[in-house]
Copies of this chain bind each other. A is one copy, B any other.
Amino acid sequence: MVKVIIAEKLLKANEEIAAVNRRLLEGKGVVMVNLIGGPGAGKTTLLEKTLPLLTDKFCVAVIEGDIYTTYDAERIAKTGVEVVQINTHGACHLDAKMIGDALNQLPLDELDLIIIENVGNLVCPAEFDLGDDYKITISSVTEGMDKPAKYPLAFREAYGVVITKTDLLPYTVFNLGSYVEELFKINGNLKIFPVSALKDEGIEDWSQLIGRMIWRKRRNLTVI
């Protein structure tokens, strides 16, 4: 019981800080996208392929969440975008306070877009609002068909799902059509993007979605 009350208090405190982050970015006209996926789903590789398609049009920064290492941040830094590393030191997800601290280190006036790569975990990150505009869940074909049913929160809360490693479809028992149907049952409004980073397939469609997110926010700003 004590455990539940503490958890509720933590989540409430997190929500309040997430709202502060959201207001801050709203004022600056910056879009923030939160990438959620299990270990090895392909989040970093997807980013490595996506960022070059965005950085010619937009000013982008990445916040990298990891338990201990800076491996992913080093990979992302090579694409030329600004990276802030958050090491959670054991914690299984990012929270709004960590993101607030990271935002303080970024030149928000110059940015169009911040992409957060959350800690590799399909469970806990889905529970913590970071103040982002869009949650995107990354799920690889090699993880199997049952992930939306087994980890529903990550898919229900998502704006879009990127299905990675489609180059491995011929060697797995994964049925892409049935999987997409399954996703729509959980959330009928999902934007779904099958991609292969290895073969550079689907990356452009997915990066155009991010472009539309940015244009949408710009339009809202003009109207206001």
> B residues within 8 A CB of A146?
69, 71
A180 within 8 A of B: no
Number of copies: 2
A152 within 8 A of B: yes
A68 within 8 A of B: yes
A residues with a Cβ closer than 8 A to B are 3, 6, 10, 38-40, 66-69, 71, 90, 92, 119-124, 127, 140, 142-144, 146-147, 149-153, 165, 167-168, 171-172
Minimum CB–CB distance from A90 to chain B (whole Å) comes to: 8
Additional A-B contacts beyond A71-B150, A142-B165 (9; CB < 8 A): A3-B10, A38-B39, A38-B121, A39-B151, A40-B140, A40-B143, A69-B150, A90-B127, A121-B123
Give A142 to B168 CA distance when docked, in angstroms.
9
> B residues within 8 A CB of A92?
92, 121, 123-124
> B residues within 8 A CB of A151?
39, 67, 120
> B residues within 8 A CB of A71?
146, 149-150
Minimum CB–CB distance from A162 to chain B (whole Å) comes to: 15
Q: List the B residue with the shortest CB-CB distance to A6.
A: B6
Minimum CB–CB distance from A71 to chain B (whole Å) comes to: 6
> Across the interface, do A40 and B147 meet the contact criterion of CB distance under 8 Å?
yes
> B residues within 8 A CB of A120?
38, 122-123, 150-151
Give A119 to B150 CA distance when docked, in angstroms.
10
> Across the interface, do A143 and B10 meet the contact criterion of CB distance under 8 Å?
no
> B residues within 8 A CB of A147?
39-40
Q: List the B residue with the shortest CB-CB distance to A145.
A: B40
Q: Which of B6, B40, B119, B172 contacts A123 (CB 8 A)?
A: B119
Q: List the B residue with the shortest CB-CB distance to A75.
A: B146
> Across the interface, do B6 and A150 meet the contact criterion of CB distance under 8 Å?
no
- Once A67-B123, A92-B123 are accepted as A-B contacts, the answer to whether A142 and B3 lie under 8 Å apart by CB is no
What 5 A-B pairs come out closest when comparing CB atoms? A40-B143, A142-B142, A92-B123, A38-B39, A38-B38
